[in-house]
Amino acid sequence: MSLEAAIAKLTDAVLANTAALEGGASKPAAKPAAKPAAKPASKPASKPTSKKGPTADDIAQAFGEYLKNGDKEEREEAKRVVKQIITHFDVERITKLDPDNFQEALDFLEQFKEGEYPFEEEGGEEEEGDLM
């Protein structure tokens, strides 16, 4: 038996075993076996893009929803909050934000939603104590 014939026979046996384990036909064609080998190579390429962090669309959606919620007074407060965030990053609009700052901007937004004020200066009480 030639080397090619032995390889073909072993390949057929492996394919038949794989098909039997998967509940498929006893002897699948050799071409479909090549396609699954290509799929794992494409999966890792798509995973890193999903782990890169928030996108411009995520920013626009999060800030847009924040600005549209609540009554008139709450929306005015939301505008002040967003103004503080864009001033912090020194941009005209949140949509002009550098992608490297997307996550930090979302973190600031979450802090404001939770009633925290990340840009508030610390030491206000100490300054009063110094005056006395």
Indicate whether this model's pTM tops 0.85. no
Residue pLDDT tens, the chain, 132 long: 788 888 888 888 888 888 888 775 545 455 544 444 445 444 444 444 445 789 999 999 999 999 998 899 999 999 999 999 999 999 999 889 999 999 999 999 999 888 888 887 655 443 344 443
d(CA 105, CA 97): 9
Q: Please report, for the chain, the start and end positions of each structural domain, with discontinuous segments joined by +.
A: 3-48, 56-113
Cβ-Cβ contacts under 8 Å for 19 (sequence gap 6 or more): 25, 26, 27, 28
With contact defined as beta carbons under 8 Å apart, do 23 and 73 qualify? no
What's the angle, vertex CA 57, arms to CA 52 and CA 62, rounded to 5? 100
Tokens of 120: 């508030």
Tokens of 17: 């075993």
Say which residue the tokens 């206000």 belong to: 124
d(CA 119, CA 112): 10
